[in-house]
Structure formats: structure tokens, C-alpha cells
Amino acid sequence: MNENIKTILWIAVAVLFATAAWAIQPIEEDLSQFTNLSGKQLFPDFKKVADLEKIELLTPTKGIRQFYGLQLKKGAEGNWELATSGGYPAFIDKSMPPLLEELADLTVIEVVDTKEEIQASSLDDVHKAYGLLEPTPSNREYGVEGIGRLVRLKDNQGKIVLKLIIGNQVRNSLENCYVRIPEQDQVYVVAIDPFKIHDRFVDWADVDLLGINPLEVSGMTLQEFQIVKNERVQQAVIAPKIAHSVELDGAIWKLKKRFNFVGSEPVEETIEPDEYLETALITDIRDHLGSIEIRGVLPKSKDFENDLVQGKDISRNQQNVNALGQWGMMIQPLGNGGYTILPQSGGLRVRLTNGLEYYLMFGNARDAQRNARGELTNKLKRVMLVSVGTTVALPTLHDLPEDPEEKAKVELENNRLLDAYYAQKEATEKLAKSENARFAPWVYEISDETYRTLMPRSKELVKKL
């Protein structure tokens, strides 16, 4: 090999090593673009909160390596809906608009210099220490502790106007948090309360599901059901077992009637002198009716919903019957051509002073979820349906006297009573129809604790001295 070729080869090797050495040397990131943000808005282009169309939240779930996603969107009428729950109406309290304004006006308090930390470990470890790993499937291996909450806001054009990962609170500060923008490594300190950002269904569902005043409850019927074998069709069916009817007498709850069932026929039972009603349980039920916490919803099919809204016989559609079976309920035809729903876990009828009757039907228990270590990660929930009827009773009319003049007066009074009855009946039926349209689209999920409060067992409800 001649000297010229050797020289060229040595030069090439030298260049190669120099290039490799340059490639592996630590990169000195230019932080000037970020340090200039101190005291300035983090999202200067986010101006109009009113233009928001969608809110997306992604949160790690404790106990299991998965993420809980929640999306809200504006419906056709401008009301917020839970897109991740079939468009269920979102309850927007007074704290929501100020929170969005707070996000829009986020100002950088401090630009955190993480250069030395990154050199000592890795970028992912640094983000984990601040709770700022992005909640993505690839980051599940880090567990929940180092993963932040992702907030995404989109405008009515579908453009993302804000995207932010919210991490740990700054030590010794309840107002300041570490944050970063996805696709950027820089860590900031801003003033925001992470607990204001609700990311659970229960935070967005109105606990006043029924919308009634508990003090207007005048009576209830609690009915238990059982699973029995129908010999004729050779399969298990839901059958009524026992029912207790209670009424408010002045300020005291009293047990008015009790029924056992022979097949589907009710047989009234005598209430013994030594039996008494646990009135505290009835008061608990009444008070709880004004704050039923919904843990989740399942949308019914459109056909099922439409049949309910239009007052059709839902038993004529086999898909409706199948759906009820999946929720732990059956349909029983009635002699008048109507039907009633038999829920395997009990039914609660709530009568109001205005003539409305709410029927809460409790179905299957949805099993709690456990992680690989056997730890409980999702509490037991119970399926519930709601329908509304009326109980406006005909007035007691006065007997007509023989005297023509007195008879005319009594007839006038009887007509007045009947007019008042028909007016109340019409108004109550109209309200019931409106309420049924509100409940028709949804199957509700409540906690097992709520279910047991609303549906105590017979042996708990009636005791002996």
C-alpha cells in the first residue's frame, strides 16, 4: 500500500472517530426559550373559553396499570355531555367556568432547571419524580405514582387549544403544581389546584337524580323478589316474594299493609300486635332519595328508549326482553293488557304528595374488579332502572240529600272536587311523561352501599318486640 493511500485511510479513520465522539457527547439544551416564559402565560393563544367544544381527561387508576379516560363534549343545544358515557348530561357546577378561565390564564411561576438531574439519571426518571410522565400505554410499567393527569381542550374547529400534563404538588405548597406540555421536556411550576379538575364520572353526574324533595314523600312500597323454577317452561324466573307498604301518618311512618305472594297473586297478611316498623330505616331511605350517587350509566338501545317514551308495550320487542334479562329483570304481562317489570334485587315505589310515583328497579350486581395481586380496584355496583307513574286518587264525593236546594249545593261541591281531580290528573300525567322521557335512555349504576340503604331486607324492616 503506497503512502498516499495510507494517508487517506488515516484521515478517514480520524474523521470517523471525531464524528462519533461529537455524536455521543452530552447535548447542552438551550433553555433560553423556556426561561423567558417565567411570569408569562403558558398558553397565550388560548383566548375564548366559550369556543371550547371538548374536554378530555386521562388519569392513571390506582391499583391497576390502566388509565381512566373521561371526555366531555358540547351537545347540539350547547349543553355539556359525557361523551365517554353515551352522551349522559354532565352536571356543570359553578366551579367549572372559573376553572377553564384559570387554565386559559395559567402563568409560569418558575421554569425548573432539570439539566443536572437529567445528566445524573434519565429524562423519564426526572419526569417520573415530578409526576409528569404522560399517561400512555408505554408508560404503564412505571406504575401510577410517576404518571400525571393529561388535560386536552379542543375548540369548535377540533383544534387542540390546550394540552397539559399536571404532576405533583410543589412541596409545602397547596396551590402550586409541576406541569409540562406533552412533546416538550421542560418542567414548569404554575398555580393550579389539581383537585379542581374532576376526572371521575361521579364528579360530573348530578346526585339529585330524581329531582324530588324528600319531604314531599308520602309513602313507599318495598318489594322483594326471588328466583324460582317455572315448571311449565322448565326454567328459572323472577317472582314476587313479599311487599311492605308504609305511609306517613302526620310525622310518623306506619306499616299499612304487607303482602305475601302465591305465584304472582298478592295475599294480604295480618300485621301482628307485637310487630313494629324500623322507622329510622324508612327515614334513611326518604332522605337518601334526594342524593342518589350515580357511579355510571349504560345507554339503552334507541328502539328500547323510543318504546318507553312512546308508551309502547316493550315486551313485544324480543331485544328489549333480552336486554332486561342481561340486567337481571323480567317482564310480567298484566291482565289489563299492560306489563310490569320484575327486578330480581327488589323494587322501591316512592309516592309523592303531588300524585307522582317513582319506581326504582334494582337488577344485577356488577362484580368488583381485582388486580393481579387480588386487590379490590372497583367496588361492587348495582344496576337500576327508573320509571314514573301516577297515583292521583279519585275524590270521595258527598252523598246527595233529598232536599233540592241542598242537593244543588252538594252537586256543585262534588263537581268542584271532580274538576280539581281531573286537572291534577292531567298535570301529573304530563309531568310523569316528561320524567319517563328523561329516564328512558339510561340504565343506572349505583354503589352497593346505596342499594342496601334504599332496599333493606324484610327482617331489617319489620321486627318483633
Q: What is the pLDDT of residues 333-380, one digit of tens each?
A: 877 767 889 999 999 999 999 999 999 999 998 765 554 445 444 568
pLDDT reading at 12 higher than 60: no
pLDDT value at residue 59: 78
Chain-centre distance for alpha carbon 347: 21
Cα gap 260→258, rounded to integer Å: 7
Cα gap 224→342, rounded to integer Å: 10
Please name the amino acid found at residue 63: G
Q: How confident is the model at residue 21 (pLDDT cuts 50, 70, 90)?
A: very low
pLDDT value at residue 93: 64
| Residues 385 and 341 sit within 8 Å (Cβ to Cβ) | yes
Q: 241 is written with which cell numbers?
A: 316474594
Lowest-pLDDT choice from 37-41, 247-251, 293-297, 447-451: 37-41
Which residues have CB under 8 Å from 404's CB, separation 6+? none
Mean pLDDT, rounded, for 28-35:
48
Average model confidence (pLDDT) across the chain = 84
pLDDT value at residue 13: 44
Mean pLDDT, rounded, for 76-91:
87
In our burial notation (b when 16+ CB lie closer than 10 A, e otherwise), range 211-247 reads: ebebeebbbbbbbbbeeeeeeeeeeebbbbbbbbbbe
Closest Cα to residue 244, out of 266, 227, 263, 262?
Answer: 266
Could you tell me the CA-to-CA distances from 95 to 41, 169, 206, 272, 290 in Å, in that order?
A: 21, 20, 14, 54, 22
Separation of first and last alpha carbons in the chain = 115
Greater confidence (275 vs 140) lies with 275
What is the residue whose three cell numbers read 236546594? 405
pLDDT value at residue 234: 63
Question: What is the pTM (predicted TM-score) of this model?
Answer: 0.80
Cα gap 134→182, rounded to integer Å: 7
Mean pLDDT, rounded, for 175-184:
92
Lowest-pLDDT choice from 114-118, 162-166, 424-428, 456-460: 114-118
Q: 316 is written with which cell numbers?
A: 313485544
Q: How confident is the model at residue 99 (pLDDT cuts 50, 70, 90)?
A: confident
pLDDT reading at 415 higher than 50: yes
pLDDT reading at 64 higher than 50: no
Please name the amino acid found at residue 44: P
DSSP state letter for 184? -
Element containing residue 451 per DSSP (H, E): helix 448-454
> Quick one: the chain helix, strand, coil %, rounded to 5?
30, 35, 35
Show me where the domains of the chain are located. Answer: 32-204, 214-464
Q: 127 is written with which cell numbers?
A: 419526569
Closest Cα to residue 435, out of 363, 365, 354?
Answer: 354
Mean pLDDT, rounded, for 7-11:
48
pLDDT reading at 181 higher than 50: yes
| Residues 90 and 294 sit within 8 Å (Cβ to Cβ) | no
DSSP state letter for 107? B
Helices (H) and strands (E) in the chain, counts: 12, 24
Residues 150-159 have pLDDT tens digits of 999 998 888 8
pLDDT reading at 29 higher than 60: no
Main-chain dihedrals φ then ψ at residue 78, nearest 5 degrees? 85, 5
Mean pLDDT, rounded, for 221-248:
86
pLDDT reading at 407 higher than 70: yes
